Amino acid sequence: MMLLTAISWAIVALLDGGSVEVEGLVISAAAKTTPYRGIRAGDGVEVEFSVSANTGGAPPFLQSLDSVRALDEDGKLLATPGESRLGATSSPQPNRRTIFLVCSGQSSRTLPFVEGTMDVSAMGWKTATFAGETLKPNAVIPFKDGSVKLTVLELEDGPADLRFRVTMPGNPPRDAMINGARLTLTNMKGKETPLKEGRKAPTPDASAKDVRLAFRSEKPIALESVRSLRLELPAPKGEVKTIRFRVPDVPVEETSVRRKR
């Protein structure tokens, strides 16, 4: 299996611009300029990485990025992680992660190379099902290493509004959980309906153990028609593999809005 604890350095194959294959994983990157200027001596770029298995199937879980930098054709440094928010990473999806870099010179339409390391594991799911006596506000469902509380269950007065508070010990990949969570409603006839993510609920600071999730339905839902609510949360599974990568010819999209920091 691909998941090992040793660090991998071997690049198996170069793909089209912005992608590279490393030991069975396809790593892709795309960048865009940020709307911030005046950061050190140059401009910022936002680079989004995605990881998939070269054989298809379930995507892996991209846990972290480290030592990311951009290089020119001669291997000279172009961009490194910046300070404050421009050095932060976020996870729009469990197999994607975004990092902000600061360019040492004017950014171009292509970054010749973007390299670094990443921690990757298999994708798992934590599931909490609210049904029967637990299908009510303030009900709590425990699962391994945590719990989920159904904080808001407003179904019949206008568009449905459902909210949850997930509590997990340690330092869970907060952004990936928020953006990758799924909620499925099952009615009394057994029909399953996925609910859309609602407005992002405010989350506590990074030191907190809670993650807030919100979902909605455009139409009201009769409570007596609901058999269960199944909340699924993406989570890393099994051993972690640390990979060193170098992605060539990363395209850079120039954003139209530019403002001073």
Better-predicted residue by pLDDT, 64 or 169:
64
> pTM of the prediction?
0.70
Q: Is residue 172 over pLDDT 70? A: no
Whether 124-237 and 7-123+238-260 are alike in CATH topology: the answer is yes
CATH 3.40.1350 fits domain 7-123+238-260: no
Nearest alpha carbon to residue 152 among 164, 140, 142, 141: 164
Mean pLDDT, rounded, for 97-108: 75
The letter for the amino acid at 122 is A
| Separation between Cα atoms, residue 69 and residue 174, nearest integer Å | 24
Identify whether the C-beta of residue 153 lies closer than 8 Å to the C-beta of residue 206.
no
Q: Which fold has domain 124-237?
A: Immunoglobulin-like (2.60.40)
**Residue ranges covered by each domain of the chain:** 7-123+238-260, 124-237
DSSP conformation class of 132: G
Structure token pair of residue 129: 């099902």
Over residues 176-213, the pLDDT tens digits come to 666 788 999 999 999 999 998 876 555 555 555 788 89
